[in-house]
Amino acid sequence: MLKTHSLIEPQDLSVEEIEELFTLADDIKNRPGLYINACEGKLMGTLFYEPSTRTRLSFASAMNRLGGRVVGFSDPGSSSVTKGETVADTARMLSAYADIIVMRHPYEGAPKVASLYSDIPVINAGDGGHNHPTQTLTDLYTMHTVFGRTSDLTVAICGDLKFGRTVHSLIQAMSRYENVRFILISPEELRVPRYLRQFMKDNKVDFTEVEKIEDAIADCDVLYMTRIQRERFSDESEYERLKDFYVLDGEKMKLARENMIVMHPLPRVKEISREVDYDPRARYFRQARYGMFIRMALILKLLEVGYQPKQTRLTPTKYHCKNPRCICNLENEPQQMMEIAPNEYRCLYCDYTVHIEE
């Protein structure tokens, strides 16, 4: 059984637990008939406060293929969120109706808040520009399927590394595997956030930073392309300036190894030319399909953990999170700033770090 009640960030699962999920996902893929009633009588609540194609529909497909049912919303405008209901109260309500919650929210830390008040497991399906752990499971499962391993790999990650939540989760998850090297490709303005840079230094992660695809493509086993995240920019002109910074095309693919693969969490905009879709090294559509199998495995494992009554009553800490995109500032959740070094504080919900001098 998994040790965690909810999946909020990639480190909630150990490397061994992820291996168990791979084994189960392989079996589901190979022998789907064995699992068609595995979730009979179980109900999933999908709370999508932000648009989604893959994550929402792959979770719904996964639950239906396991014989379970799905309720929820994909438009928060049709829910009592419009009347001011908080994430905490919405999670309490779903605990009364369903067996497992899948939540996507534009504010960072929202699924964490839900997990503190929910009696049933909560799965983070993407929180703002912070984390997307089930995309990471999808990504790791793709590497496991293609290479037979998730270690001994050079992974080049290209695009919006500042706001790309899939990037943040992938780096944290893969930093635990042996001999993994990252080449981070981004413009100066879209480099990884401070807390993640510190995480990589603290964990002695091997990483280099470059600006051009051509500086990395010949050296990598995986080229992980990402979209410039328009919805996270506060300045539209900045987005317009950066949106077409990267385009992976047939010419650049000529520089890559024969056995490398191109991944992308999708949706893509223009960062991968359509001609690349026909290159056998392009794996992004199959990657999305693998996401359904690994989510089926995750649902089964979290439902084993099941119902755990919660009576959370948090005491607010002295200092406040300064991230305007953090759920604690939207919904007046008790502030939870943890001291991580002298005068350095990190928000429990969104990982934003602040330096505070007395």
In the complex, which residues of this chain contact ligand CP (CB under 6 A)?
52-55, 126, 135, 265-267
In which order are the strands placed within the sheet that holds 180-185? 206-210, 180-185, 153-158, 222-225, 261-263
42 or 165: CB nearest ligand CP: 165
Active site residue 274: no
Catalytic residue (choose from 5, 42, 65, 104): 104
State how far the Cα of 197 lies from the Cα of 221, in Å rounded to an integer: 22
Whether the CB-CB separation of 225 and 271 falls below 8 Å is answered with yes
162 or 346: CB nearest ligand CP: 162
CB of 125 to ligand CP, least distance (A): 7
Largest CA distance in the chain: 62
Catalytic residue (choose from 55, 134, 142, 145): 55
What would you report as the CA-atom Rg of the chain, rounded to the nearest whole angstrom? Answer: 20
Catalytic residue (choose from 4, 42, 46, 54): 54
83-84-90-91 Cα dihedral, nearest 10 degrees = 170
134 or 353: CB nearest ligand CP: 134
CB of 291 to ligand CP, least distance (A): 8
CB of 81 to ligand CP, least distance (A): 19
59 or 182: CB nearest ligand CP: 59
CB of 174 to ligand CP, least distance (A): 17
Catalytic residue (choose from 83, 254, 313, 318): 83
Residue with tokens 């405008």: 77
State how far the Cα of 339 lies from the Cα of 332, in Å rounded to an integer: 20
Active site residue 83: yes
State how far the Cα of 183 lies from the Cα of 223, in Å rounded to an integer: 9
State how far the Cα of 172 lies from the Cα of 272, in Å rounded to an integer: 25
58 or 336: CB nearest ligand CP: 58
Active site residue 55: yes
> Which amino acid makes up residue 59?
F
CB of 332 to ligand CP, least distance (A): 28
Active site residue 104: yes
Number of C-alpha atoms within 13 angstroms, CB side, residue 81? 19
Catalytic residue (choose from 56, 112, 130, 132): 132
Active site residues: 54-55, 83, 104, 132
